[in-house]
Structures are given as C-alpha cells and as structure tokens.
Structure 1
Amino acid sequence: MAGTARYLMCFQYRGTNYSGVMKTPSHQLVPGVQNYLEGALQKLRPANEVNIFISSRTDSGVHALCNSAHFDIQRKEGKQPFSEELLVNALNFHLKPEPISILKAFRVSDTFHARYHARSRTYTYRLVTGCDHHSHLPVFERNLCWPVSRRPLSTDAMREAAQMLLGTRDFSTFRSLNSETPFKSPLKTLLQADLTPGFSITTQQNYHSHLEFWELTFRSQSFLYKQVRRMTGALVAVGQGKLMPRHIADLLEVRDSRAYPGNIIAPPDGLFLKNVEYDEKDLQVEEEIIQ
C-alpha cells in the first residue's frame, strides 16, 4: 500500500514509574512504556492504528539504555513515508516530558520482526558497595543501582562463579515461574557474564567517595523470565560469602525454580537492558526513502 512503511526504532527509558515496557489496559493506573510510544505515534496522524512489537520485555522498575521495537505506519494519501530523522524528532517531541527517548529509527523490510530477528540481548546490572540502603545513596543514583553491602564484595569469587553460567545450559533454577514457563525451553546459551568496575558522577564528590560501583553484564540471544535478576542475586550472594562459587553449579544441576533461595533475588532497580543486536543486512532496504 502506498505510503506504508515498516520501521525499527531504538529507544531508552527510565523504568521507575512504569509497570514495565509492555502495554497495559487503559483502566490500569500505572501504564507501560508502550502506551506512551503508541500514543506518540498516533499524534503523527497516521492513516492506520499503529501497534508496536517490542523486542525485549522489561519488568516494572527495570530501565533500558537501548530497547527496540518495530511498527508499520501508513501516511495519508499522497504523502511519502517518513524519513528516519523526521520520525525520531517528531516522536521525541510528542513523548515530552516522559523519561522516554527515541534514539534512532531504521526503515526495514515488511518481513522484519524486532523480536525474532534479534541476534543477542545484553543486560547490565549496577551494584554499589559502601552502603546497604537506598536512602544512603546520592539522589541521582536512587532507583538506578542496588546498594548491596557496606563492606567490599569478594569480586574474585564472583568472577569464578560467573564463569560457571557461561555456555548452553538448563537455567530452570534461574527462572521465575509465569504463564509462559510451560511453553519455553529452559535451555539458553549465555555468551557473556562479566563483572567490571562501574562508575557514577557522584563519586567525584568527597561526600560519596566511599561508594564503589560494579557492573554485571550478561549477553545471550534471549533470557528466561527474571533470569538476569536471579543470576545477579546468586552472584552477589557469592560476593557476600553467603554462597560459595560451587553452589552456582549446584543450582544449575538441580534444574528446579523452587530450589533458588527466595531471599537473594536482585531487585529491579539496578537492571538495564543495554543493547539489542541485529545483522546489518536486516536494517537495510533497497527502496529510497523520500521525506
């Protein structure tokens, strides 16, 4: 149909005040990020009702440095498809003042799917030591990291434990049960599990120089429900001496979600979807785009 085009958009958001990224019913008090994205798209006055298809679900309180979604938008008769730059600028104008921002848009083929064409997803979890309660954090870091301990973590033990998670494994113990559990295979291939020093602009001040930030980074084609938060909680427990590195292998071997210690799951606050990767060929179309 003339004037219809499919786009992939990359967007980021601070997830503290949303029910998650997915759309919620109009009667629900706390909306999802998708509600605002689709609302902004409708303000472009398309000829169709625009529905977006999100690549990666995030829960309430979880943030995204870069999530992605695709959608089809049809302009009124006689108008060419939006240019990528115009689409980004117009959507960001209509999203104000929400903490949601469109980073980039790509014109893609009408067979492209944001979820199923993703090669990998990378999550980063931000930890901080030197305090053990969110009220002791700088105001600019609240809801953006997990204050795990006043004392330093055993980072060597955490790195040793993280290596046990790499490769293709049955992650049944590291998923929470939900409606999709019976239909999803627990086999996942974890490509990366790294612990590296993190940073915060607030630590440049003498008031917060005692704080030490760390980042756990996980990369896989896909993850199970709450898998990243469970892996993070288990690794932090190792860093605190509550678990030994060998206990990570034991948890994997059990293959039972109920065997996961319920009091160590990481909260959503420090979790960020960092990136969703695609093949470059999937982000190209031969048709010339005219604004």
Structure 2
Amino acid sequence: MGAGSVRARYLVYFQYLGTDFNGVAAVRGAQHAIGVQNYLEEAAKRLNSVVPVKFTISSRTDAGVHALSNAAHLDVQRRSGRPPFSPEVLTQALNTHLRHPAIRVLQAFRVPSHFHARHAATSRTYLYRLATGCRSPHQLPVFERNRCWALRADCLDVAAMREAAQHLLGTHDFRAFQSAGSLATSPVRTLRRASVSPDPASSPFVLPEESRRLQFWSLEFESQSFLYRQVRRMTSVLVAVGLGALMPAQVKVILESQDPLGRHQSHVAPAHGLFLKAVLYEGFGPASMCPQSPQHRGHR
C-alpha cells in the first residue's frame, strides 16, 4: 500500500437479466458457468486499484433469476496522490468496461468503511411475474420468454390468493418454504408485505389480438431478508391456491407444519419469473430506484 493512498468504499446498485448467468455470485475456478459478479469484477480491474476489487453482493440470486436493482459494496484503493473516484465517475467507468450487455450499473454512493451491503440492508423486495391464458409455450411472445412463468390456466382465483397470502404476513418460522442448502442460522423471518395484482401495464410485447387471451400478474414480497428459495416456494403455493388445488386456509397449515417436504410446498416456481426488485438502506439509494412502501418512507 503506497504512502498517502486512500481506500474508498462504495455502495453500487446494478441490474441484470439472469438468463445467461449461473446466478449473481462469482464462479471461481475452471467451470464453464459464470456469474454476474465475474463480469463486474472484470470491469473493476480497469480501475487500476492498488488491491484487487471484490464485490460483496447484498442479495444472492440463483441461475436464471433477474434483478431490477441488486446492490454490492466494493473498495477501491487508488495510487498515492490520486483522489478517490467520484460515484459518478465510478459508475461510468464500470459501465464502460462491462463486457456483457445484460448487466448495467445504475448508481454508486460513497459509504463508510464499515458499511456492509448484505448486513446493512433494511428491506428487500422480490417481484414474481405470472402469465395466464398460455396453453402452450409457443403462445407466449418471444420477448416475454424467460421473464415470466406461463401458466396453462386461463385465469386465477386472485381473491383466494390474496386471502392465502395474509397467512404468510408477520413473523414466522418459514422452514416449510426453505430449500435444502440454506446457510441461514434461523428460519424465522418477518414478511412485511405479500401482494397479488394484475400487472397494471400488462406487457408491451403482446399483440392486440393476443391481449384478450393473455393476462399478466405480479406477486410482490417484502422482508428484511429471505430464506433460500423462500419466495419461489411461496409463489408456487399461492399459484396452487389460485388454480384451486389448495384452499387459502391450507397455507396456514403448511406454514405451521414447518415441513419443507410436503406435496405443495416442495414445489419451486421457475427461476425465470423472479426479479429482485429493490434493496433498501438507511440513508443510501435514490427513491426512484428503490421504491418504498408507505410505512417505511419515514425512515429514510
């Protein structure tokens, strides 16, 4: 470390389409699979940091899962006599050197040296997109493939899904919705919000003659943190309710069973319908990129 050099820590927001990646985390070694983090760190090499730049990811996403806004922190150590990059310059430099078109850095912030992108997050919101009225895969517009779960059903019982979602709200042991391989020390989580609604904008990629048949739906879940594949398992159970395979009250029974191997809760919704929508922090992050529910706006 050169005398007089300054290490700066940044919080960086970035987005990606997950179709081409083996998840967001870097893949180390000689494997053919690669993560979003590999491309971010490859771009960061061009910053000429004294020490290699490593991204500490806020929220890990699986292969095929997308992110409208994920976050990470990183340290950049410039050579002696050179001031730290401004957040704007850092953002521009990373985007200039990114070598994959499905990744974009949204914005960066200078943060204290003790800031941790994973531990400091106060809220995470996931969006899951469904499509109904798609009797066969070829009926889904090509631009929507790998961006939603196309159900063969013509409709969903949304009222029943909303009733079922109410049983998931609050603080519970969610191990019934946790997949094997979780590193969490406790299965207890607090689900702040679970909503089911028609997509207000539908899809811009649906032709007029198809719009009478195809309907898009959005499920949103907000918590400070989630268990491994918890959102995809909850989505699968709510879809089962919407299709009439489960009654809303049975969701409470599943939750209280704490059994992840049951018939319905062991099903995992496809990865390609899931988006990490927002990661929030106290004092960092523009409201336009990280929308908050009304009850949390006062904590900014």
Query: Structure 1: which 5+ runs fail to align?
Result: 284-291
1:201-243 residue CA offsets vs partner (Å, 9 max, x unmatched): 0235324442100000000000000000000000000000111
Among 232, 237, 242, which residue is 1:234 paired with? Answer: 237
Among 137, 141, 157, which residue is 1:138 paired with? Answer: 141
Q: Is the 8 A contact 1:124 1:271 kept in 2?
A: yes
Q: Which residue of 2 aligns with 1:67?
A: 70
Q: How far 1:132 sits from its partner (Å)?
A: 4.2
Task: Please tell me whether residue 172 in structure 1 is matched to residue 175 in structure 2.
Answer: yes
Q: How far 1:258 sits from its partner (Å)?
A: 1.5
Q: Which residue of 1 aligns with 2:293?
A: none
Task: Please tell me whether residue 255 in structure 1 is matched to residue 258 in structure 2.
Answer: yes
Per the alignment, do residues 272 and 189 of structure 1 end up closer, same or farther by CA in structure 2, a change over 3 Å counting?
A: same
**Distance in 2 between the 1:143 and 1:282 partners?**
28
SS in 1 for 2:151: strand
SS in 1 for 2:206: helix
Provide TM-score, normalisation by structure 2: 0.90
Per the alignment, do residues 18 and 251 of structure 1 end up closer, same or farther by CA in structure 2, a change over 3 Å counting?
A: same
Q: Which residue of 2 aligns with 1:82?
A: 85
Counterpart AA for 2:51? N
**Distance in 2 between the 1:282 and 1:154 partners?**
36
Q: Is the 8 A contact 1:134 1:146 kept in 2?
A: no
**Distance in 2 between the 1:223 and 1:262 partners?**
16
Q: How far 1:197 sits from its partner (Å)?
A: 1.2
For residues 267-286 of structure 1, the aligned pairs below 5 Å read 267-280=270-283
Task: Please tell me whether residue 119 in structure 1 is matched to residue 99 in structure 2.
Answer: no
Counterpart AA for 2:78? R
Q: Is the 8 A contact 1:143 1:270 kept in 2?
A: yes
Per the alignment, do residues 133 and 222 of structure 1 end up closer, same or farther by CA in structure 2, a change over 3 Å counting?
A: farther
1:44-84 residue CA offsets vs partner (Å, 9 max, x unmatched): 22111111100001000000000000010111222111111
Q: Which residue of 1 aligns with 2:295?
A: none
Q: How far 1:113 sits from its partner (Å)?
A: 0.4
**Distance in 1 between the 2:38 and 2:77 partners?**
19
Provide TM-score, normalisation by structure 1: 0.92
Task: Count matched residues.
Answer: 281
Give the superposed CA RMSD: 1.7
Q: How far 1:32 sits from its partner (Å)?
A: 0.5
Among 176, 200, 203, which residue is 2:206 paired with? Answer: 203
More displaced stretch, 200-209 vs 214-223: 200-209
1:82-114 residue CA offsets vs partner (Å, 9 max, x unmatched): 111111111111114430000000000001000
Q: How far 1:259 sits from its partner (Å)?
A: 2.1
Task: Please tell me whether residue 186 in structure 1 is matched to residue 195 in structure 2.
Answer: no
SS in 2 for 1:73: strand
Query: Structure 2: which 5+ runs fail to align?
Result: 287-300
Q: Is the 8 A contact 2:135 2:151 kept in 1?
A: yes
Query: Identity of counterpart residues, as a percentage?
Result: 51
Task: Please tell me whether residue 42 in structure 1 is matched to residue 50 in structure 2.
Answer: no
Q: How far 1:263 sits from its partner (Å)?
A: 6.7
Q: Which residue of 2 aligns with 1:214?
A: 217
**Distance in 1 between the 2:284 and 2:103 partners?**
27
Q: Which runs of 4+ in 1 moved over 3 A?
A: none
Q: Which residue of 1 aligns with 2:296?
A: none
Q: Which residue of 1 aligns with 2:297?
A: none
Counterpart AA for 2:73? H
**Distance in 2 between the 1:154 and 1:78 partners?**
64
Task: Please tell me whether residue 94 in structure 1 is matched to residue 97 in structure 2.
Answer: yes
For residues 6-17 of structure 1, the aligned pairs below 5 Å read 6-17=9-20
Q: How far 1:136 sits from its partner (Å)?
A: 2.1
Per the alignment, do residues 187 and 179 of structure 1 end up closer, same or farther by CA in structure 2, a change over 3 Å counting?
A: closer
Q: Which residue of 2 aligns with 1:289?
A: none
**Distance in 1 between the 2:151 and 2:249 partners?**
21
Counterpart AA for 2:15? Q
